[in-house]
Structure 1
Amino acid sequence: MQSGKGGVNTIPSKAMGGQLFPPCPPPVMNVGPPPMIDWLAQPDDDAEGPVAKPPHTVGESMPEFGARIMETVNAGFIALSIAVGKETGLFSVLAGFEGQPKTSQEIADEAGLKERYVREWLGAMTTGRIVNMDASGKRFFLPPHRAIFLTTPGLGYELTILAAALPMQGKVFNYIIDSFKRDGPRGISYEHFGDFHRFMNACSLIWWDRHLVSTFIPTIPGLKDMLESGISVLDLGCGEGGASLILGEAFPQSSILGVDICSHAVQEASKAAADRQLTNNVRFMELDAHDIPDDWAGRFKYVLAWDSIHDMANPGKILERVRKILAPGGIMSVLEVNARSEIADNMDMPFASTFYTNSMFHCMSVQLHAGGEGLGNMWGRERAEETLRSGGFKVETFPSPFEGSFNCHFLCRLDSE
């Protein structure tokens, strides 16, 4: 691949037919019902119970539905192998070959991995139409346009990070099943999610790096000038501190404090601040946001709560504490998933199923465990606005605060001002 401006890998447009991401041919599906679900085609009318005559969606036969489920489950397993490719660096290794076919041994040697595992992964990726193989069937390559999509910061790379969330969520699968039971636990504690903050930080950094300072901050009237002059900022639920570090580096006159309930995340954030020599104006503290101390009253001019309020047990109490610590004229940015509050209103939302599933496996469950009502990350704009207004704030809502964002920005000011 050639290196274009800004270090983004590009390839000649002629090689790609003038398209940035030429469409890949879809997997060939057999016409008609898959053999393993032939029995679904003609339900036994004489059988008793609801299985005899299951409900049908208008325009969809049972064999068609069965085929769709098969494709969905197969895609889930492909996604798991995509996660392997991301975590092992195999996509980057293949990208480095610039489309030149290589044997599984050559790929394994370059990656520093075992050939047998690499070969099996290549089997999954090749039959999944992600990696190609040459006519010999023994050499494999990643077409350049796919390499750019999967390894360059942006949507494609973010999707590989999202795929890597599957094994992370799998670690708590049995806890989730227990929580479903009537006599089971309310939810799952943070201690079971050692990798969650790393995952969230990796996802968010793609967009923070590109948009936080250049695009997002300028949308808030007067904030950039205040940050340049020097104000105190609170990053509420900072995780591993990605946003705090970017703000601290861009605005050295301002003092940034990130707080999070997870000790591991705070340790990682503090280490990153030291590594980047930002400890003069960026620091992190392990703190439950419900316990924000009284002596912080009027201290912060800007509070940032990025994908965190819905995880906290009592958002009402959090907002009460934020009202006290905001300085006169202070503002708060709450960013949450840009969803609606009713399932029926999210039917056409991209990745809605992914967000609901991640919420079930983390956001909803940790809030329930902490004694909350289980808002989940799909609590939606209507519910979020109601909560923020009830908490004493005037709210302006801005869906999709920057390109490619899945968030909605709720800009909050004290209702008394």
Structure 2
Amino acid sequence: MTTTEQTVNPEAFERLLGQVITDAGAAVTLPLALLGDRLGLFTELAAGGPATATGLAARTGLVERYLREWLLAMAASGYVTYRGGAPGAEQPDSARAASYGLSPEQKEAFTNPDSPGYVAGAFQNLTAATRVLDRLTEAFHTGDGIGWHEQHPDMFEGTERFFRPGYLANLTSQWIPALTGIEERLTAGARVADVGCGLGASTIIMAQRYPASSFVGVDYHQPSVELARARAAAAGVADRVEFRVAGAADLGGDYDFIAFFDCLHDMPDPVGALRAARAAVAEGGSVMLVEPMSWDSVPEVLNPLGRLLAGASLLVCLPSGLSGPPAAGLGNQAGPTRTRELAAEAGFGDAKVAAATDFNLIYELRP
């Protein structure tokens, strides 16, 4: 008997292999779900009702054989619902005869972009995140970073689609009201900066809720800024929203309220960004950090959400944070204690967690 045979616990080994099978199935499901999102298959099933692969091909103009395999894979993952075989079919249980549809929950999650549970953005940005794997392999040898702007184009739209539902559900109803005196200022008319604004979803939501205030969104990624400008115009708020191509350290100006939405941990110089915000915030104003849920100890991270966030941090957040000087490399699991320490280092006298959801911590920083 070998040493390996003596030390391997067969039951534990079986559980590990089962976990790998589960994870491998999940890994192939997300890009295939993205494929369905791109092709409008979830939307078609939601709007047109259940269909066989043949019927769905007729409705979409797509190839039946590919649709048959996609429907089977999605049903096995629980992303579409098997509705039984076509009546009168010779082999009613076969994939060729099978009919599939969406449950109300599947419709909500995959086709309603305004729902707090909309997850199609995750299909897009998490699939995009894996595109850097070759460069990330080399980075383990060199220590080099991978800038946010170097991610696959799907990352930018996917990230906005991923975060926007949470902002719609919480930003103006819970997070801003939890800050000291900020909602009153915004209602009366305030000057607001959205740092790292991306495609502008957070800026536009605030502008729609607080029409007396003016907003400036800044982001160093020009293609995102251009899209943000177009989306502000489409939303009818371009008269009070301005988007600029600029880095966080170039904020300047004087603002009653400054917000960072899910971006501080990605920055190579988070303290520099916070110092710029400290210099730009008006007397009595606040800085809000919306950050992914994070914890201060390793045991706290060992849960399903921690698993997702730590993996995303390695693929996206950490490489971004190492992509320029001083290469702080926070990652998204800096934890509340470290985040408050950064605020103090940047000159804020008060830093606290003002609100939280299952997925985010919302910090209020005051001079």
User: TM-score if structure 1 supplies the norm length?
Assistant: 0.79
Identify if the C-alpha distance between structure 1 residues 96 and 230 changes in structure 2 by more than 3 Å, giving closer, same or farther: same
- Cα displacement string for residues 36-58 of structure 1 (whole angstroms, at most 9, x for unaligned residues): xxxxxxxxx336xxx555565xx
Moved more, 135-144 or 267-276: 135-144
Query: Does residue 170 in structure 1 map to residue 130 in structure 2?
Result: yes
Identify if the C-alpha distance between structure 1 residues 185 and 346 changes in structure 2 by more than 3 Å, giving closer, same or farther: closer
Moved more, 244-253 or 78-87: 78-87
Output aligned runs, 1:97-176, within 5 Å: 97-98=48-49, 100=50, 102-131=51-80, 132-135=82-85, 136=92, 137=94, 138-150=97-109, 151-152=111-112, 153-154=114-115, 156-158=117-119, 160-176=120-136
In structure 2, the residue matched to 1:361 is 315
In structure 2, the residue matched to 1:40 is none
Does structure 1 conserve the Cα–Cα contact (< 8 Å) formed by 2:116 and 2:168? no
Identify if the C-alpha distance between structure 1 residues 83 and 314 changes in structure 2 by more than 3 Å, giving closer, same or farther: same
Structure 2 Cα separation of the partners of residues 406 and 70 of structure 1: 27
Output aligned runs, 1:4-403, within 5 Å: 45-46=1-2, 51=4, 60-98=11-49, 100=50, 102-131=51-80, 132-135=82-85, 136=92, 137=94, 138-150=97-109, 151-152=111-112, 153-154=114-115, 156-158=117-119, 160-181=120-141, 184=142, 186-193=144-151, 194-293=153-252, 296=253, 299-348=254-303, 350-371=304-325, 372-393=327-348, 394-400=350-356, 402=357
Moved more, 320-329 or 146-155: 146-155
- Cα displacement string for residues 296-347 of structure 1 (whole angstroms, at most 9, x for unaligned residues): 2xx1010001111111111221222111111111111111112113322212
Larger Rg: 1
- Cα displacement string for residues 55-75 of structure 1 (whole angstroms, at most 9, x for unaligned residues): 65xx95212221221122122
Does structure 2 conserve the Cα–Cα contact (< 8 Å) formed by 1:84 and 1:164? no
Structure (1 or 2) with the greater helix fraction: 2
Identify if the C-alpha distance between structure 1 residues 249 and 128 changes in structure 2 by more than 3 Å, giving closer, same or farther: closer
Higher relative contact order (CA 8 A, sep 6+): 2
Does structure 1 conserve the Cα–Cα contact (< 8 Å) formed by 2:208 and 2:237? yes
SS in 1 for 2:239: coil
**What is the number of equivalent residue pairs in this alignment?**
352
SS in 2 for 1:170: helix
Identify if the C-alpha distance between structure 1 residues 229 and 110 changes in structure 2 by more than 3 Å, giving closer, same or farther: same
Percent sequence identity over aligned pairs: 24
Amino acid paired to 1:93: E
Output aligned runs, 1:406-417, within 5 Å: 406-414=359-367
Note the residue ranges of structure 1 that are not aligned, 5 or more in a row: 1-44
The CA RMSD measured in Å over matched residues stands at 2.2
Structure 2 Cα separation of the partners of residues 264 and 142 of structure 1: 37
Moved more, 319-328 or 271-280: 271-280
